[in-house]
Structure 1
Amino acid sequence: MVLSLLALLVIIAALLLFNRSCSFSPGGPEIDPSSAPTVDVRPQFEQVARTVDFSLRLPAVPARWRANSTTTNRAGADSVVVRAGWLTPDRFVGLSQSRAAAPELVELETGARAEPTGSVEVDGTQWTVYPGVRAERAWAAALGGTTTLITGTGTEDEFRTLATAVQAAQPLPRS
């Protein structure tokens, strides 16, 4: 009986190994960044900029960052939120822009009402720091009447890079 069980386990192990149905990754799951979708943020933002009632900015991010998402959704009763997300070499950063107030936008994007935990200054602009979900963080700032929120698992340097880029970006034309 023991020999039959061992033979059965060998057969199952061989099937799993040859079908690649199972893998061993002692350092945690391996994610292939190239398997994520890629989007072109520019045409999406240019189209949306003509329909929203706030200034929308398209930051120039580093070439090694890959945009993988853009969405536009309602943000409360009378506003919308425009989002874009980028995969950095090892992490993710997202940008949300809305006419909604910062606490409302933070709650919408992080799923929790949160109190600020501090602030950081990036090129003369104060960004309010909020806790994010899981290992994420959130930075919010008002840029030209638009609430701008950066979220994600990115490093502080990556957050600063995105903050600098969005601050430097000119608002997209509305017509």
Structure 2
Amino acid sequence: MSARPDPATPSQEPEGPAGGAAPEPAGPAAEGTAAAAGTGEQPARRPVPPPVTRRIPEAGPRAMQKPGRGDTSVRDLIWACLILVPIALLIFSVGGSCSFSPGAPAEDAASGPTVDAPARIAEYARGSSFPLRLPDVAFRVNSTDRGPVEGGGTAVRIGYVTPDADFLSLVQTDGTAEGVLATESGAAGRGDGPPTMRGTEQAGGLTWEVYGAEGGEPFRIATLPGAQPVRVLVTGSGSDEQFRALADALAAARPIPPGTPGG
């Protein structure tokens, strides 16, 4: 006989995977899963938003722009100041020894070189063929020189700076008046004719012939008395009074015989 279940014994519910009660699906996702399982379709996935990305601007060369007129003017003004300030300081630093005079520069009478005129004239006298003189005048001697004269002869030059910062040059020579005039005026080197004679004047007991252009520096030439004729020439920017002072001192100076040390 086959065994039948006892109607009095209650029927047993199916157990879950772990032997317990089967879990109930919860929420719409569970329902959708159950529905998809029943129909054989894949469950729908929630769309994921794309990632947010930030664009980094690329660094590259920028177009050159012309600076504004205001910027250029300020920059040029600054550079001009940087250049002019040192120049101004240099001008002020040397302003004590030089001054500006319209038409010609002026030198401070106390500045510049000073030459030992007695020693130089004594040296020239030892090798000279004619007597020399050293005027005792209140001018500063800033140069001496000896050289040839146009047409023959030798010239000994003494350069003076006056208290008014003017210049006078005394030339003593055994050459002719025409030769020393051509040499000292520069006419010999330029190929020009000699300066024009403008007249004569008296100074230091001598008669001086005056040459030169009107308004230019005069060239005064005279002949010193003695057994051996000596021509003297005076030129420069000094005044007539300064020329006469030099002429008087020249006439009063004792001649230094040639070939002697000047004592």
Match of 2:179 in 1: 104
**Separation in structure 2 between the aligned mates of residue 142 and residue 27 of structure 1, nearest angstrom:** 36
Instruction: Give the fraction of aligned pairs with identical amino acids, expressed as a percent.
Output: 32
The yes-or-no answer on 1:157 pairing with 2:248 is: no
- 1:21-60 aligned within 5 A: 27-28=101-102, 29-60=105-136
| Residue correspondence of structure 1 range 1-175 to structure 2 within 5 A | 1-20=72-91, 27-28=101-102, 29-62=105-138, 65-76=139-150, 78-90=152-164, 91-112=166-187, 113-131=194-212, 135-144=216-225, 145-174=229-258, 175=260
The structure with the larger Rg is 2
Distance 1:110 1:18, change over 3 A: same
Which piece of structure 1 moves more, 33-42 or 16-25? 16-25
CA offsets, 1:58-116, max 9 Å, x none?
Answer: 11112xx1100000011135311000011001201110000111121011011121121
**Matched position secondary structure for 1:60:** coil
Query: SS where residue 134 of structure 2 aligns?
Result: coil
Question: After superposition, what is the alpha-carbon deviation per residue over 1:9-35, rounded to whole angstroms, capped at 9, x for unaligned?
Answer: 222222323444898976444533333
Letter in 2 for 1:168: A
Q: CA deviation at 1:125?
A: 1.4
1 CA distance for matches of 2:163 and 2:206? 26
For residues 22 and 67 of structure 1, do their structure 2 counterparts lie closer, same or farther at Cα, with a shift above 3 Å needed? closer
Distance 1:21 1:152 in 2: 29
Aligned length: 173
Seen in structure 2, the aligned counterparts of structure 1 residues 39 and 134 have a Cα distance that, compared at 3 Å, is farther
Query: Unaligned stretches of 5+ in structure 2?
Result: 1-71, 188-193
TM-score if structure 2 supplies the norm length? Answer: 0.59
Query: 1:99-145: CA deviations, max 9, x gaps?
Result: 11112101101112112111101243101111179842211001031
Which gives a bigger RCO, structure 1 or 2 (Cα 8 Å, sep 6+)? Answer: 1
Task: Assess if the C-alpha contact under 8 Å between 1:71 and 1:84 holds in 2.
Answer: yes
Output the TM-score relative to the length of structure 1.
Answer: 0.87
Equivalent position SS for 1:39: coil
RMSD, aligned CA:
2.5
Q: CA deviation at 1:166?
A: 0.8
